[in-house]
Amino acid sequence: MIKTLNAKEQFQYAKSNYTNWLAEDDPDENLSVKLMMTIHYSSYKEEIQDRGVDIFMRGDELFDKKNYREAIPYYIEACKIYPMYDAFYKLSMSYFRIEQYTYALGASVNALSIATYLNMDDELPELYFRRGMMMANLLNEAMELSNANYPMVHFALINLKKAKDLGLSIAGQNFEMIMESIRV
């Protein structure tokens, strides 16, 4: 069972830990991703792969029914058994849907690193957008979206800008809204 954090607790945690959510420019430098990808490409037995995918699919059934909290343990287990982009992405989105942004950002690091490592370029705009919105929502919920928290605001803006630069126009609109809110 996950510990639900209120907005202020999430903000305090994020303020201390947001640098852990920064994606490495070179995914090969990210040790955890390197390990996951080594495992991913090693000789997984087919039954282990199948078990990981089956568990992931059970999580997806719950996610599709909007039972995000119930889907989380399945995605976590799937990530442990057979790490794959989809499991980390859906884990991140499940946390996002229940407004547990710190957990969502943590899971998004692995999703982004795997997508980058596997050259999943089609996934990157949406992933950067979601990461930017996770941080923006976290700051907004905690009423901390201001210049006083510039490093965290910058995290949100840089992810939204990357999404915009990769062709996701809604990211540009959200970028501008955040810029307006911190100018006031």
User: What is the tens place of the pLDDT at every residue in 38-58?
Assistant: 555 555 567 777 888 999 999
Which of the four pLDDT bands, split at 50, 70 and 90, describes residue 2? low
- What average pLDDT score do residues 122-140 get? 89
- What average pLDDT score do residues 123-132 get? 91
pTM: 0.79
Q: What is the pLDDT of residue 60?
A: 96
Q: What is the pLDDT of residue 138?
A: 84
130 close to 108: Cβ distance less than 8 angstroms: yes
Q: Measured in Å, how far apart are the chain's first and last C-alpha atoms?
A: 40
Q: What's the Rg (C-alpha) of the chain? A: 17
* AA identity, residue 6: N
Backbone angles phi, psi at 24, to 5 degrees: -70, 140
Residue 60: which of 71, 49, 76 has the closest Cα? 71
Q: What is the pLDDT of residue 27?
A: 44
Q: What is the pLDDT of residue 71?
A: 97
For the 7-183 domain, the top CATH level (class) is mainly alpha
